Amino acid sequence: MAEHDTLRRFIFEHLPVQGRHVHLDASWRAVLERQSYPAPVRALLGEALAAMALLSATLKYEGTLTLQIQGGGPVSLLVVQCTSRLNLRGLAHWRDGPLPSALKELLGDGRLAITIEPVGQSERYQSIVPLEGADLAACLEGYFQHSEQLPTRLWLAAGRDSAAGLLLQVMPQRAQSPEAWRHVTVLADTVSGEELNVLSAEQLLHRLYHEEDLRLFESAPASFRCRCSRAGIEDTLRGLGAGEVRGILREQGRVHVDCEFCGHGSDFDRVDVEALFGTTVRTLSSEVRH
Ligand SMILES: [Zn+2]
């Protein structure tokens, strides 16, 4: 029986290699519920989500990881976030028209950035990842290798019902063995996307490495969760400016904002809008009067 919405870490007892496996099910379907994505966009979004879940397990502190692609091709935007507690959300925008499946054609002269925001710190760490690989996994391998200074390989797959990923990485604490690394990665290269999506961590690792001694650690649960808040939406409205927001209010009698990640709606009436833009003015005028 496949485990659902879980991330598992494992190590090879006698080889200097560690790994992680992620299987997203309900959390992935929750992302798909908000929007009906064409297959190539859905595949890319699911792969990005699985990749960020795998990467989040390497964070040494609590925080949020964001993968953002600004595309120059048919996919104009893709955003995926995962916290160190494996709370996930994601979305993508695409232009109408025929969609290629190759990454380069989907994204054109796109820009891929990975940002780490540690909880309770104002600092953010951003890396730009060159979109040079044939697929997302290949692009991200360079990032992992650079950020962790360790040879790393990734296998990602996403379908209608699940998104999954496997990560293998050299273990720094042990004597290095290029032969062992080649051995485990050549075997992992035989995995199909279908197998990644269908098999549980145990099944997949047994299929690949039944001749090796593997230690599989306890699974961590992953879930869909949006961090949107009224305060965040207020910031967005302030960013639009008083003129624009008051214009919407005049036309529609209220300002309605839906969170694009989770679909949660917020309404702002005249009093709310004035509170957003008018507070400073009132404070100043009362100061002048006294
Ligand atoms: Zn939301």
CB atoms within 10 A of CB 110: 18
Ligand 1 centre distance from Cα of residue 63 (Å)? 18
Ligand 1 centre distance from Cα of residue 189 (Å)? 37
**pLDDT tens digit string along 181-223?**
999 999 999 999 999 999 999 999 999 999 999 999 999 999 9
Ligand 1 centre distance from Cα of residue 143 (Å)? 28
In DSSP terms, 79 is beta-bridged to: 68, 91
Ligand 1 centre distance from Cα of residue 28 (Å)? 15
Ligand 1 centre distance from Cα of residue 61 (Å)? 24
Q: What percent of the chain has pLDDT over 90?
A: 76
Ligand 1 centre distance from Cα of residue 153 (Å)? 32
Q: Which two tokens stand for residue 239?
A: 């960013």
Ligand 1 centre distance from Cα of residue 23 (Å)? 23
Which pLDDT value is given to residue 192? Answer: 96
Ligand 1 centre distance from Cα of residue 267 (Å)? 14
CB atoms within 10 A of CB 222: 26
**pLDDT tens digit string along 10-32?**
999 999 999 999 999 999 999 99
| Structural domains in the chain, sorted by start | 6-224 (3.55.30.10), 230-289 (3.90.1280.10)
Ligand 1 centre distance from Cα of residue 254 (Å)? 20
In DSSP terms, 87 is beta-bridged to: 223
pLDDT level of residue 158 (50, 70, 90 thresholds)? very high
Res. 96: pLDDT tops 70: yes
**pLDDT tens digit string along 43-55?**
999 999 999 999 9
Nearest CA-CA partner of 240 in 273, 283, 275: 273
Average pLDDT, the chain: 91
Ligand 1 centre distance from Cα of residue 281 (Å)? 31
Ligand 1 centre distance from Cα of residue 84 (Å)? 18
Report whether 82 contacts 88 (CB < 8 A): yes
Ligand 1 centre distance from Cα of residue 230 (Å)? 10
**Residue 278: what are its φ and ψ, rounded to 5°?**
-100, -15
Res. 285: pLDDT tops 90: no
Ligand 1 centre distance from Cα of residue 258 (Å)? 8
Which pLDDT value is given to residue 8? Answer: 96
Which pLDDT value is given to residue 279? Answer: 56
Res. 120: pLDDT tops 80: yes
Which pLDDT value is given to residue 146? Answer: 83
pTM over 0.75: yes
Which pLDDT value is given to residue 103? Answer: 92
DSSP E strands: which ranges in the chain?
A: 6-12, 17-24, 63-70, 75-83, 87-94, 111-118, 125-129, 152-158, 163-170, 214-216, 220-221, 223-224, 255-258, 265-268
Ligand 1 centre distance from Cα of residue 261 (Å)? 5
pLDDT level of residue 2 (50, 70, 90 thresholds)? low
Ligand 1 centre distance from Cα of residue 79 (Å)? 13
pLDDT level of residue 286 (50, 70, 90 thresholds)? very low
Q: What is the DSSP letter of 58?
A: T
**pLDDT tens digit string along 53-77?**
999 987 888 999 999 999 889 999 9
Q: Is 231 exposed, middle or buried (0-12, 13-18, 19+ CB in 10 A)?
A: exposed
- Helices (H) and strands (E) counted in the chain, each on its own, are 10, 14
Cα separation, 187 vs 171, in Å, equals 18
- Average pLDDT score over residue span 96-118: 91
- Average pLDDT score over residue span 29-45: 95
Q: How does 126-149 read in b/e, with b if 16+ C-beta sit within 10 Å?
A: eeebebebebbbebbbebbeebee
Res. 105: pLDDT tops 50: yes
Q: Which two tokens stand for residue 139?
A: 């692009």
Which pLDDT value is given to residue 280? Answer: 52
Res. 3: pLDDT tops 90: no
**pLDDT tens digit string along 77-88?**
999 999 999 999
Ligand 1 centre distance from Cα of residue 187 (Å)? 40
Q: Are strands 87-94 and 125-129 parallel, antiparallel or unpaired?
A: unpaired
Report whether 102 contacts 131 (CB < 8 A): no
Ligand 1 centre distance from Cα of residue 257 (Å)? 10
Cα radius of gyration (the chain): 22
